Amino acid sequence: MEIITSNQNSRVKIWTSLQTLKGREKSGTYMLDGWHLVQEALNQAAPIQAVIATEEQMDQHLIDVPQGVPAFQVSEEVARHIAKTNTPQGIFAQTSLPNNSFDPKYVHNGSWLLLDRIQDPGNVGTLIRTADAAGFSGVALSKESADPFNPKVVRAMQGSQFHLKLVKEVDLNDWVDKLEANDYNVYGSTLSENSVDYKTVVPEKNFALILGNEGQGTDPEIQAKTSENLHINFLGKAESLNVAVAGGILMFALN
């Protein structure tokens, strides 16, 4: 096992670059930070390029590294440098980005969540995790949405990226057209009067739900194409809900 103590090490520079979109795209990998995520990747037989841990973590835990996957021991300082936090858990895995090529014309079964320009990493990660919990087949993100492999999104997903299909930088207009051509109902979410109470919709196995930008909502062109636009009736005086909260309510109700 190679021991690395310098932040100037060439491998450390690559691992640190995975904090950025450019670095992830260049290497075709992203970083998992923490025992839960690393263990989930191992449980799901994810394509891991390297496992990295501090000496303390190596001593405390038995790391079942797959055969052929290199393991590296790093100093506490290097661990903080990789994680960009002062108190990292000290265990990481570099894993391959999933294949992002997917045509919605092949979607014939299961429910899909479509994210239209949702930019907050915490919201994106929470929505993907909730879609996983609600039994969705996949999540498709528009080009303007936060990258699902941004470290903040990865932490919020808590391993759900290994349980469903993730497709990023999609043309949602194309997705809506093709899903509806496959006899899918595509539901939008809105506060507009030209919508129906989500409770009136009969749950389905095959459908799609679109959630729009935190401040601007769903693109009007996309919203005009939906099978139905839905709203949530409020019992109190709040004017709106966080998109992740609203998405959770709708996903569990519709599926």
Supply the DSSP string of the chain, one letter for each residue: -EEE--TTSHHHHHHHHTTSHHHHHHHTEEEEESHHHHHHHHHTT--EEEEEEEHHHHHHS---PPTT--EEEE-HHHHHHHHTSSS--SEEEEEEPPP----GGG--SS-EEEEES---HHHHHHHHHHHHHTT-SEEEEETTSPPTTSHHHHHHHTTGGGTSEEEEEE-HHHHHHHHHHTT-EEEEE--SSSSEEGGGSPP-SSEEEEEEBTTTBS-HHHHTTSSEEEE---SSS-S---HHHHHHHHHHHH-
Separation between Cα atoms, residue 255 and residue 15, nearest integer Å? 39
**Cβ-count burial of 205 within 10 angstroms (0-12 exposed, 13-18 middle, 19+ buried)?**
exposed
pLDDT at 240: 86
The confidence score (pLDDT) of residue 64 equals 75
Q: Using CB atoms within 10 A of its CB, is residue 84 exposed (0-12), middle (13-18) or buried (19+)?
A: exposed
For 224-240, the pLDDT digits (tens) are 999 999 999 989 998 88
CA count, 13 A, side-chain hemisphere, 151: 19
Please provide the size of the chain in residues.
255
- Sort strands 48-54 and 91-96 into parallel, antiparallel or unpaired: antiparallel
- The pLDDT tens digits for 138-176 are 999 999 999 999 999 999 999 999 999 999 999 999 999
Rounded distance between C-alpha atoms, residue 19 and residue 24, angstroms: 8
Quick: pLDDT tens for 181-200.
Answer: 999 999 999 877 789 999 99
Measured distance between the N- and C-terminal CA atoms of the chain, rounded to whole angstroms: 47
What average pLDDT is seen over the chain? 94
Tokens at 228, concatenated: 């139905």
Give the predicted TM-score (pTM) of the model: 0.94
> Residue 18, Cβ neighbours under 10 Å: how many?
24
Residue 62: its pLDDT value, please?
66
- pLDDT tens across 2-57, in order? 999 999 999 999 999 999 999 999 999 999 999 999 999 999 999 999 999 999 88
Residue 234: φ, ψ to 5°: -90, 140
Q: Which residues are paired to 210 by β-bridges?
A: 114
Place 116 in a pLDDT band, splitting at 50, 70 and 90: very high
Report the C-alpha gap between 226 and 173 in whole angstroms: 10
Per-residue model confidence as pLDDT tens digits over 62-103: 677 888 999 999 999 999 999 988 888 999 999 999 998 899
Cα separation, 223 vs 10, in Å, equals 48
